[in-house]
Structure 1
Amino acid sequence: MAQLRIERDNPALWIATFENPPINLIDPDTIVELQALLAELETDAVVKVIVFRSADHDFFLAHWDVLADKRRTAEMPPGPSGLHPWLDVLVRISRAPVVSIAEIRGRARGAGSEFALACDMRFASLERAILGQFEVGVGAVPGGNPMVRLAGLMGRGRAMEVVLGADDFSGAVAERYGYVNRALPDAELSAFVDGLAQRLAGFEKHGIVHAKSLLDLASLPPDAAFPPALAAFFQSVARPGAQARMARLLAQGLQRRTAIELSLGKAVAE
């Protein structure tokens, strides 16, 4: 079953909706679908904007599926960037010749947060959005190097708070910290994002692509910043301490629609 539903009613504005029950975990199939989508975004002459949404208002993208086939994940071939496929997705969405917008309702933690950070813009629901990098709380290192993106967005101290504190951040705090562009009342979020996306879709693609590429030069980390973080992630999750913490959380309901997943920032510190 496909995890991404792509709407192309307006050829210049695509809508991608995540739907991977029970809580929109990211797994190797998610990566494969995102790589296929990126190949289209990089070559389509008409599309200018893509909006990412979730069909589940409690979870935008929960986090990486820790029970996914580790051999399959390790053996996935590098993407066109030459990087591991997950890193490939993150760097290519940032550099794609379209504007990517994450509309965040529900939880975007771990790899879900990494994906949102890789998008060009992020808009969050005041009432429903929760963002965070919980990995340090389970003895791991975030693998998609959100550290380098967060430091650029919010400064070193706040990036330390997000990554090392491993806690949940509401939409309001995320806006104040620069984690997201804006946090809006939930009832207004989609209309705002649609309005901005339609505005951009009405502009000339040439101007969007070239202005974005110059912003990329000024603001994006080099691709070489990402592989060391993924290597550190794989090493850290193999440690006995991390495995014990993860096993405890799995036993308590991690990866299921439970109180643990709804309040993961609190759970990792208990």
Structure 2
Amino acid sequence: MPQTGRGQDAQRLTDRSRASFGDPDADRPPLREIDKERFMSTAEQFHVSKVTRSYWRVTFDNGPVNLMDPDTIEQLGELIGRIEDEPELTVVVFRSDKPGYFIAHWDFLSDSARVAGMPPGPTGLHPYLDNFVRLSKLPVATISEIRGRTRGAGSEFVLSTDIRFASESAVLGQFEVGVGSVPGGGAMSRLGRLVGRGRALEILLGGDDMPAGLAAEYGYVNRVVPDAEIEAFTDAFARRIAGFDRVAVAGIKGLVDAATLPANEEFAPGLQAYFATAGRPENRPFVQLLFDNGLQQPDGIETDLGKAIGTLRQNFERP
């Protein structure tokens, strides 16, 4: 019988996917943008708003839950190159307009062969890692304005930015262990430095969702801001940085980077472990079960993925 809807998603997974990446300023008037453009390729994922010459806002847009995919890797690399080449830029805010989602995670149905065949980036690393390393070392301040859920690849993205402000509705997590894979985008190295070894292992081995308040307590994010205020709060902070001398901002950031960021060599083993573990045949039936329950859809299992994976795993019979 032909499959429809979520059943087709599960079948596509079987046929195609083996490597899934896996305030006081509340009264401020609406943002005045001196220039606005869309940074687009085929999927039109990044919308760049030049608020001022020294301040950009980037809104990510890819499907109903903001999935990362091969196009994201290519577009993000191009965007980072533009940021690197912009002499007056001092601060960039990354955000989402998707209700309930910042970046859900990697797209399980994406073309794994295309990802595996990508040439190295400027750092010599696979472009998925290269993007995050270059993002973390930009000579500008980068801020994640996190509303809603950001897990897996989305978590790895925000961990690569300098500052993470989370709304009350934010949820973060690294759920990869629940689908039988090792996180590939540097979560082990970055979380270990941010929250400490024990808490990093709690996040990575538990694979559960972490609400914003607990994430702030652990150091996963900087602070929690009421949902109605986070845009104005982040904008005010970004404008403050944008008003400072770029040489001073870049100098401070570079010295903090040198003292705190993982060495580039730490990242490749994680991605190698990801490629070796993601998409193994013994885990496909469980991932198909997730699709049957609404994986990658705005409603259903995505709303409470960490809890759902734990519950389903305990009751799942391996083939």
Q: TM-score, normalised by structure 2?
A: 0.83
- Mark the runs of 5 or more structure 1 residues left unpaired by the alignment: none
Alpha-carbon distance in 2 for matches of 1:215, 1:136: 31
Aligned length: 269
Distance 1:244 1:143 in 2: 22
In structure 1, give the amino acid aligned to 2:134. Answer: R
1:45-73 C-alpha deviation (Å, 9 max, x unpaired): 01100000001131100000111001111
Max radius of gyration: which structure? 2
CA RMSD of aligned residues (A): 0.9
8 Å contact 1:76–1:84 — kept in the other structure?
A: yes
Report how far residue 252 of structure 1 moved. 1.8
CA distance in 1, matches of 2:99, 2:294: 19
How far 1:205 sits from its partner (Å)?
Answer: 0.5
What is the rounded CA distance, in whole Å, between the counterparts of 2:208 and 2:166 in structure 1? 17
The answer (yes or no) to whether the contact 1:254–1:261 under 8 Å persists in 2 is yes
* Equivalent of 2:67 in 21, 25, 32: 25
Q: For the Cα contact (< 8 Å) 1:49–1:99, is it kept in 2?
A: yes
CA positional deviation for 1:151: 1.0
SS at match of 2:249: helix
Is 1:106 equivalent to 2:148 in the alignment?
yes
The correspondence for 1:239, drawn from 256, 280, 297, is: 280
Contact kept in structure 2, 1:129 and 1:170, CA below 8 Å: yes
1:246 Cα deviation after fit: 1.4
Where does 1:43-192 land on structure 2 (aligned, <5 Å)? Answer: 43-126=85-168, 128-192=169-233
Shift of 1:147: 1.1
One of 226, 229, 249 as aligned partner of 2:290: 249
Amino acid at match of 1:260: I
Q: Which of residues 253, 262, 270 in structure 2 aligns to 1:221?
A: 262
Q: Is the 8 A contact 1:102 1:119 kept in 2?
A: yes
| Seq. identity, % | 50
CA contact (8 A) 1:63 1:109 kept: yes
Q: Offset at 1:242?
A: 2.5
- Distance in 2 between residues matched to 1:157 and 1:172, nearest whole Å: 18
Distance in 1, Cα, partners of 2:289 & 2:271: 23
Cα drift, residue 145 of structure 1:
2.1
- For 1:78 and 1:243, the matched residues in 2 are separated by 29
Gaps of 5+ in 2: 1-42, 313-319
1:215-265 alpha-carbon deviations (Å, 9 max, x no partner) = 001100001111110111111113233223212212221112222111100
